[in-house]
Structure 1
Amino acid sequence: MKLVAQTLASSVLGAAYFVAVLFWPAGTFDYWQAWVFLAVFIVTTLGPTFFLAVRHPDALARRMKAGPTAETRPAQRLIITLTVVLVTATFVLSALDHRFGWSSAPAWVVVVGNTLVALGLSGAQLVVVQNHYAAATVRVEAGQPLVSTGLYGLVRHPMYTGTVVMMLGTPLALGSLWGLLGVAASAPVLVARILDEEKMLTAELAGYREYRRQVRYRLVPGVW
């Protein structure tokens, strides 16, 4: 029951957050791109959330513990704080772009953006199914196994790969080109999170040093 209550509370807070960062700066609820984006976001996350709640509630509970206060490493608290600010700025900038017409994204761009959002979110959700210890925070738990198969056989941080794809698609789904500036500003913060996380995993997770030699790339095969 506690997990159900937490999930419901998270859903309510999420809805309030999207109203605050999308429709308020847009100055209207007549923003069809935002409504389509929200529909794609909800549909894509709803199924995996129910699956985890039924089959792997511990994994869902780990995903529910998020935010700067949930991090144990000082560097990650700062990184997550910056991430929240930049993600919020991306939404607000995209909504302001809609309001004032700074850029014009045709419908096909919106479709491409929503496709990227769905693919990125689906990939990130699949990571949690393949690795039940894939939490929203950077930590190593007692008895945590090293996962090197599935998406982890392609890149070392597949959840972040999904996140990048989703974030690239978000401004486009919202009909904004200027929102891509917020995504670009988030890139060095994500790199800092990954590098600090790998430092911890190498020191605390058994077999991770060997895994790094086996899977060379962090986010994109052949690139980085």
Structure 2
Amino acid sequence: MSIAVVGKILWVLGVVAWYVIRYPFERRAKRVRVVSHRRSPTEKIGLASALLGLAIAPGFYVATGMPEAADYPARAWAVAVGAVLFATAMWVFRRTHKELGRNWSITLEIRDQHQLICSGPYAFVRHPMYTSFLLMALGQAFLLSNWVVGLAGLTGFAILFFLRVDKEERMMLEIFGPQYRAYMDRTRRIIPYLY
């Protein structure tokens, strides 16, 4: 089995793990009443971009090998780095969902009895879910030896992040006021101690 095939298999396993982690939280979230939301066309564009870059384009590549012209030689060290990044992404993703519990939502929503979560990964960054997506995108770039697919994940993540994060923080400031402002002062957005 070639290194490139190993990378593809590991990417598929990572996406399956992502879905297995997300599914029960998505089901539970439907049972908690939404009291406020900030859904918008730009949010839909961000979510669609992330889906395209982190799932559809790489899934198409894994299934068909296209665009083959953008392939480069797979390296064992790169696949190993990609596997570690993707596994770390899934760990952060799981911890984030666990900490949020009934507060979790795929869109910008405030749920009934919403609380500000500052524990677990939220003690280090305000948006660890985005941290996990960034790690997934980086992992994908190392696992799949194709320039287009590698850049698609990073581009999809960047579009989602930059279209949503400011709106998300404004919403949290409206809901939690000085408590969220103090939280912003002591944490970074997605990379502990840096950004």
TM-score after normalising by structure 2: 0.76
Q: Flag the 1:162–1:171 CA change in 2: closer, same or farther, 3 A.
A: same
Q: How does 1:68-217 map to 2 (within 5 A)?
A: 72-74=38-40, 75-87=42-54, 88-92=56-60, 95-97=65-67, 99-100=68-69, 102-132=71-101, 133-186=103-156, 187-205=158-176, 207-215=179-187, 217=188
Aligned equivalents of 2:11, 2:185: Cα separation in 1: 39
Q: 1:209 to 1:181 in 2, by over 3 A?
A: same
Structure 2 counterpart SS, 1:189: helix
Post-superposition Cα deviations, 1:96-139, rounded to whole Å, max 9, x if no partner, equal 25x44631121221121122111101211111111212222211
The higher-RCO structure (CA 8 Å, 6+ apart) is 2
CA RMSD of aligned residues (A): 3.0
Query: Contact between 1:152 and 1:158, CA under 8 Å: does it hold in 2?
Result: yes
Q: What percent identity do the matched residue pairs reach?
A: 21
Structure 1 unaligned runs (5+)? 1-29, 54-58, 66-70
Does residue 61 (structure 1) correspond to residue 27 (structure 2)? The answer is yes
Q: Which stretches in structure 2 are left out of the alignment for 5+ residues?
A: 32-36
Letter matched to residue 122 of structure 1:
W
Structure 1 residues 92 and 220: alpha-carbon distance in aligned structure 2, compared to 1, 3 A threshold = same
Paired with 2:44 and 2:176, the residues of 1 have a C-alpha distance of: 21
Q: Are the aligned partners of 1:110 and 1:173 in contact in 2 as well (CA < 8 Å)?
A: yes
- Residue 34 of structure 2 corresponds to which residue in structure 1? none
- Against the structure 1 CA distance between its residues 166 and 42, is the aligned structure 2 distance closer, same or farther, given a 3 Å change threshold? same
Letter of the aligned partner of 2:53 in structure 1? Answer: L
Match of 1:22 in 2: none
